[in-house]
Amino acid sequence: MAVRYFALNYRASNTNGSKTLEDHLRQCMSAETKPGVRFSDAPADRVMVHTQDGKELLLNEFADVVDGVAGIICEVIPGLMQPVLSRTAVQKQLTKTTVSTVFKMAEQSAGKTEDFIQGLCYFYVRHNHLIFITVKGFRKSDVEPFFQWLLTSLRIGEVTLSAVLDKAEMDGDIGRVSKFRIKGSSSGGKGVALAVPKETRRRAGAASVAWSKAEEVVQAVLPLHAFERLIGSLSDKNRLVADVQWSVAGPRDEKVKAALQEVVTELADIDDGIIGIAGKDGEIKDGGVILGTKRPFEVADENHVLIDFDQATDVLVSTFARWIEDKKLTLK
């Protein structure tokens, strides 16, 4: 077995009622999609179709675990073809004068009744607390829409999710945030998983990562003719780098605090760019003040991304228990 580290994310849930998100998910397990057919026995009914790009989010594993509910959300694009390199040498006429020995490249589909998995989300819910990791191309910003779809499709309820500040780094008051910062560089490539322009290419330990909004930031501060000349001068070896820092001056009433809380959640959902939020002392800490951590997960080998359901759940549950013990969270 090999070990891979994944970022573990936290969201607080609000269900606008007396029942918690955990209560609602337990209702989902016993709900019937039609007479005599339980939701937990009908995987084809646990599919959310993304309206923008046709991808599907499927709730696969879904179980009552120790003091909570855990599951796996799979992201697929039905019928997607994947490029495959066949390491069988063949001769190919490249031009009128050039014949070369090459490996064959081709587009390949998954097998019958199969789809390539584009991303995975492993989650654990306890009361109104949600802890999750995303693997491969799964976007953190898709987690809330999926749970909202799940509850509304079964007419059980509604939910909103919010990131929170780490109490070890802040005093918990969103109004005491002094600065926000996003830093990164543009990338001209396309993401392998979802074929989205300028998709994130994150590297462990890198000083900066691809940030799809870097060009927009530079364009906002430069005259149009200067920006167009700059963009036209760049080669494939060049990238734009942007480092944005901003704050809110003046008193922070409840309306401003609510808006700042939304900003924190939006920043926590960003998959590309280094995020920093400074507290009352003004110190910028890259990503360190939003509650989350990195934890090791066992995989078959270093090239695998699938994590055993029980093993993933154990890590999520133990991390949640530690946060309760350290008083980062309150069980309620």
d(CA 195, CA 155): 34
181 neighbors 270 (Cβ within 8 angstroms):
no
126 neighbors 331 (Cβ within 8 angstroms):
yes
Mind listing the pLDDT tens digit for each residue in 40-56? 888 888 999 887 777 89
pLDDT of the chain, 332 residues: tens digit per residue:
788 889 899 999 999 888 999 999 999 988 988 888 888 888 888 999 887 777 899 999 999 987 899 999 999 988 888 888 989 889 998 898 899 999 988 888 888 888 889 999 999 999 999 999 999 889 999 999 999 999 999 999 999 999 887 776 665 566 666 667 676 666 543 322 222 233 323 322 333 445 567 777 788 878 888 888 888 888 878 877 777 777 777 777 888 888 888 887 887 887 655 566 665 555 545 555 678 888 999 888 777 889 999 999 999 999 999 999 988 888 87
11 neighbors 143 (Cβ within 8 angstroms):
yes
Neighbours of 60 (CB within 10 A): 14
